Structure 1
Amino acid sequence: MLVCPAISLSTEIVFIYQRCRLCYNSFGCGSGGYICIHEKCFYILHSHCATKKELWDGRDLEGEPEETSNSEDVKSLKEVDDGKTFHHFSHQHDLTRLCVNGEEEEGDERVCQACILPLDSDSFLGCKECDVELHDTCANLPRKLEHTFHRHPLTLEVDMTNIKEGFFSCSKCERESCGFMYRCCQEECDFKMDAKCASLANPVYNKAHQHPLTLFDNGARCLECPSGGVHPLFYLHSKTATLPMLVKNKYDTHPLTLCIRKSDIEFPSSLLRCEICEIRINTYYPDFQNLYGCFDCNTIVHVECAIGKYPYLKPGHTIKLNGFEIEIASNSLSRPVCHACHSTCQDKLVFKDKSSAISFCSINCITSSKKTLMQSYGV
């Protein structure tokens, strides 16, 4: 699947001053490639870029009718009662518009059911009968999706009980999630994508850059900035492009702003330390990328320290690894010691074996401790 789903081979590209929308290299005079079939669209690709296996499944669609779908069939959210209430296909109750009150204690934040990130905007859609709540953007994610990040159509799945492990790893950003998941429609394809990556759509507007960005197979790129020299092409990997621009933190009264590059830091960089883990931040690449900072208080925080190593996993959710049930919990002030690596669990989340008092600081530590878990079950 490409940004333009309908492209055709041309033996001669007439837009010789245009660049390939995938690799951004120019076309040689008289060289061929693929162009969009729509007259007003100037989307063009090199032949070798268009036929990459990550983007093209090998099917020649020439002569085949374009696939059509009823827009009502792909809508996840429908208005009820003249827009006063809403119905989402994932939930049996109607949803209403609610407001964030900002009084939640740490570890008890209200989170979106789809992306698992905090409900920190002014309003959201929520159920008054249970704890199901959704960001507006997440609630409107379609049930069927064609996305730049994958060559096949995707289907939205909202029930993690259908997944043996109770969570999945996004094929694009590689983060673990127990929220909504897009799965490839092709049985032989194991592609999965979380709600945040799926919400990226052209054009991408990110406050980290002054120009709108264009999605490519692994992230978003600026096509307006000059490339090379002292002005490199601006690019965001999908893992960075989906990070929240503002986060709240108990160490600062102000929201912390995402800093993509060293130039985003507006205060002296010497002897900077993360306010949470207290580790010194190296002023050289790559430490100075992807940090959260407050320019009023000179506060700087690592991304993982601000949002956690597993921002898309929900406290209270149960996962299964190696056949054993593990409960995800908010990390308390007691900071338990990990049974695998024997270090103090510092992250926002801690993983607890339901049959014992054993705690783990990461999924990697759980999977490396199969023998210990089997002994705790008497296996």
Structure 2
Amino acid sequence: MVFYCCLSCDFPIKISCARKRSKWHERTLHLTCNVSALADVSSMDSESELISLITQLLFVHMELNSEESEFTSLRNQIISLMSSMDLNSQPKPVTEFMSLITQTISVFNSIDLNCLPEPLSKLILLLYANYMDSDSSWEKLKFIFKSLFHNILTLEPEPDLISLIHRIFSVVISMNSKSRMFFSLYPQKRVTLEHGKFHVTEKVYWSGNGKWECFPGKWLEFKYLGDDITYFRCRGCNGDNHEEYKNAIVEIQHYLHRNHSLRLVMLDENSRTRKCYCCDDNIQGLFFWCMPCDFAMNNACLKKPLVFSIDHPKWHEHTLALFPRQAFLTCNLCALADERSPIYMCPSCDFVLHLKCINLPRVIRISRHYHRISFTFSFNQGDLSCGVCRRIIDNKYGGYSCIKEGCSYVVHSRCATQQNVWDGKELEGEPEEIEEEEVEPFVRISDGIIQHFSHQLHHHHLRLDENTCRDYDENKVCQACITPIYFGNFYSCMQCNFILHEECANLSRKIYHPIHPHLLSLGYGNAMVKYTYENKCTACPQLCVVGFFYKCNKDGCRFKLHVQCATISEPLVHESHMHPLFLTSKPEEERRICLVCKGPQRVLTKETFNCIEECDFALCFGCATLPQMVRYKHDKHILTLSYGEETSAMTYWCEVCEGKVNPKQRFYVCDEYCCLTLHIECLLGRDLYMNPGSSWVHYDDKVPVLPNNHHMTRPICSQCEQRCSQKIFFQLFGLIYCSVFCLRKL
């Protein structure tokens, strides 16, 4: 039996009971073992298991984004195993590892927390409390842990306990290095991508803050397919303190680039990237680069065998030979003259093929078209434009066309196989899918009365309201799009306050959207949504808390769209621009700046609605989905969204906040005689698509969404210390926050 015991009063607590206690005993408790109960435990097995657990712990990257469960589980297993080991019956001679373990436990049991340096005593108490309370969240504690740990490493002289732990880790790493093959990578340059080319930003620096900086927690590991070697870059010393490991090469000559040598460099963590020369994967982490030629290839490509000729009857009947020089030769399959890919060619036939085009599919389905499309080596018609990028197609080269007779849809090869358009499935030889019968979103009970799928648990029916002369009520909000019923028909529940726009009630249960290759299903929010990227709309910066949204059902895919973002598509005719707008963004390109809001938005997609004329206009989903016409409770007229005038010298005042309205920016205005003006945020709110009475989860704590119209004075935000001016505010730990932005500053 393993238990905790107070040495002063013999106060015992079983481990299982100790974890349930909310308070500690008033004196220090020591780990104690009942040796007789452990007689059948093999000492050698315990030692091997302990070495294995410590090895796993060392290779857990202790960064702020590390997995809570992994670190906590390993730590608890190590503590439990050490407490259960019979140190008096170890085999002779005692190994160096077990000798250090014995010394560590002895030192730990003899320490007085009051005599320890403050950071160390706090760290011990923190880990002890977290170990005792298995339900406590490591998410909240790891920030404190990291701060205390760094403070401990700067203590002089080094505490005995810390010194012993370091020696244990060193012994375990030494054992591990004998069983695994490690190669140290030490790049000397850091690069970043600017305007499509890599540029050196600085030399690679490292922390160099002592012996703790070189443990595996500071390593960036790389494994390549079919290779037993583990490559790593130590962020603590960049290879200077790892003489026990072999050093990987940092400069090479490669047959695909004979003019200059390639050097190992590191891509800046905040930099964009581009495709590798040899493969169709993005350049990542550490790679080899020629600065004069801007030639770049991934580490993994160095392991690929030399292939000077290939036979590929799928694309050409003759053997194709490698053309090792970088050249602007137009590929017969993709119609691009891309020097950043190896070229294979048949000189006698004037046939050119990029290496990255060899695996192009023959028959596919893309999100931009209803039918399957198949590859064709040329097009018979002229003046064709691509259905994705909207640019002209050169009919002398290959591309994709619709297989349906009479359909003239065509698309470039590279455009058709973009990751945001194609799902990666080759459909050649596959039978056409039998289209599932569309499931209606509601059951029609009688004329004007339905039972909607989103409200069927209550067994309530909705009645259609076609009264267009009704007064505006800002509290009547559609439960699908979470916007007020400004005008138009809507369905209202005959037994409760549930309301749906007629258009929202008719939303399809399943759709394909142009910016995602997989099928999307209609769902609705719940009260336990966490504020994470997977619960945000992919196209706009808003959280999917309540209301309807479309989500991808494919395992591992976190794509979501609010119904507002899902129901706009191309061509988009928008009041902010004179030309129709299209979704022409490419995954490898930098996200374009919206020329309406002109601000960077933290969204998960690079997609914007773009003008294909010469004006280079771009519109983000957030701006595209703002309602063009709205109502205001103190005005009987319809308000329209004005996009401002650059030359305007007028002075406007917001009806809600009584602040100035910039006439050169967007605002809502009544064009009737009253000339009322309002800021967009004052009318719609800063955090859209959130209902009073709903809630979401910040880490593990529930955040209620509260109405801001039931008090004589508006509450003050605990973060920005301003009055909460929006229709809603948030509450966390009893504190008030005016917006998600202020709350997340915690």
Contact 2:704 2:730 in 1 (8 A): yes
1:244-297 CA-to-partner distances (Å, cap 9, x unmatched) read: 12111246442211235749xxxx7214445144245263xxxx3x43223334
The amino acid of 2:565's aligned partner reads: C
CA distance change for structure 1 residues 305 and 66 in 2, over 3 Å: closer, same or farther? Answer: farther
Q: TM-score, normalising length from structure 2?
A: 0.43
Please tell me whether residue 340 in structure 1 is matched to residue 723 in structure 2: no
- Unaligned 5+ segments in structure 2 are 1-365, 586-606
Distance 2:725 2:651 in 1: 20
Query: 1:203 Cα deviation (Å)?
Result: 5.9
CA distance change for structure 1 residues 210 and 187 in 2, over 3 Å: closer, same or farther? Answer: same
Query: 1:145 Cα deviation (Å)?
Result: 1.6
Aligned partner of 1:4 in structure 2 is: 369
The amino acid of 2:641's aligned partner reads: L
* Counterpart pick for 2:400 among 12, 20, 34: 34
Aligned partner of 1:102 in structure 2 is: 471
- Unaligned 5+ segments in structure 1 are 370-379
Aligned partner of 1:89 in structure 2 is: 453
Distance 1:216 1:241 in 2: 15
Contact 1:322 1:367 in 2 (8 A): no
The amino acid of 1:45's aligned partner reads: V
Contact 1:76 1:88 in 2 (8 A): yes
Contact 2:523 2:548 in 1 (8 A): yes
* Counterpart pick for 1:181 among 546, 549, 554: 549
Identity of aligned pairs, percent? 33
| RMSD over equivalenced CA pairs, Å | 3.0
CA distance change for structure 1 residues 103 and 174 in 2, over 3 Å: closer, same or farther? Answer: closer
Aligned partner of 1:311 in structure 2 is: 688
Distance 2:539 2:617 in 1: 19
Contact 2:513 2:566 in 1 (8 A): yes
Contact 1:148 1:216 in 2 (8 A): no
Distance 2:726 2:472 in 1: 22
Contact 1:76 1:89 in 2 (8 A): yes
Query: 1:342 Cα deviation (Å)?
Result: 1.9
Distance 1:7 1:279 in 2: 54
Aligned partner of 2:698 in structure 1 is: 321
CA distance change for structure 1 residues 212 and 338 in 2, over 3 Å: closer, same or farther? Answer: same
Contact 1:272 1:300 in 2 (8 A): no
The amino acid of 1:321's aligned partner reads: H
CA distance change for structure 1 residues 103 and 298 in 2, over 3 Å: closer, same or farther? Answer: closer
CA distance change for structure 1 residues 199 and 114 in 2, over 3 Å: closer, same or farther? Answer: same
Query: 1:15 Cα deviation (Å)?
Result: 4.4
Bigger relative contact order, structure 1 or 2 (CA pairs below 8 A, ≥6 apart):
1
Distance 1:248 1:366 in 2: 29
- Find the residue that maps to 2:730 and give its secondary structure: strand
Aligned partner of 2:445 in structure 1 is: 80
Summarize the alignment of residues 268-287 of structure 1 with structure 2, pairs less than 5 Å apart.
269-273=648-652, 275=654, 276-277=656-657, 278-281=659-662, 283=664
Aligned partner of 1:117 in structure 2 is: 483
CA distance change for structure 1 residues 242 and 42 in 2, over 3 Å: closer, same or farther? Answer: farther
The amino acid of 1:368's aligned partner reads: K
Contact 1:350 1:361 in 2 (8 A): yes
- Find the residue that maps to 1:34 and give its secondary structure: strand
Contact 2:387 2:411 in 1 (8 A): yes
Contact 2:538 2:561 in 1 (8 A): yes
Query: 1:326 Cα deviation (Å)?
Result: 1.8
Distance 1:127 1:280 in 2: 39
Query: 1:243 Cα deviation (Å)?
Result: 1.8
Query: 1:36 Cα deviation (Å)?
Result: 2.2
- Greater Cα shift, 296-305 or 208-217: 208-217
Contact 1:271 1:280 in 2 (8 A): no
Aligned partner of 1:199 in structure 2 is: 567
Distance 1:325 1:102 in 2: 36
CA distance change for structure 1 residues 84 and 136 in 2, over 3 Å: closer, same or farther? Answer: closer
Contact 1:137 1:199 in 2 (8 A): no
Contact 1:138 1:199 in 2 (8 A): no
Aligned partner of 1:141 in structure 2 is: 507
Structure with greater proportional helix content: 2
1:129-152 CA-to-partner distances (Å, cap 9, x unmatched) read: 112111111111122221112111
- Find the residue that maps to 2:392 and give its secondary structure: coil
- Find the residue that maps to 1:102 and give its secondary structure: coil
CA distance change for structure 1 residues 257 and 324 in 2, over 3 Å: closer, same or farther? Answer: same
Query: 1:338 Cα deviation (Å)?
Result: 1.1
Distance 2:381 2:551 in 1: 36
1:206-264 CA-to-partner distances (Å, cap 9, x unmatched) read: 566788765566355677xxx11xxx37754322232212111246442211235749x
Q: TM-score, normalising length from structure 1?
A: 0.80
Distance 2:488 2:505 in 1: 15
Larger radius of gyration: 2
Distance 1:204 1:25 in 2: 17
Distance 1:254 1:145 in 2: 36
- Alignment length (residue pairs): 347
Contact 2:652 2:662 in 1 (8 A): yes
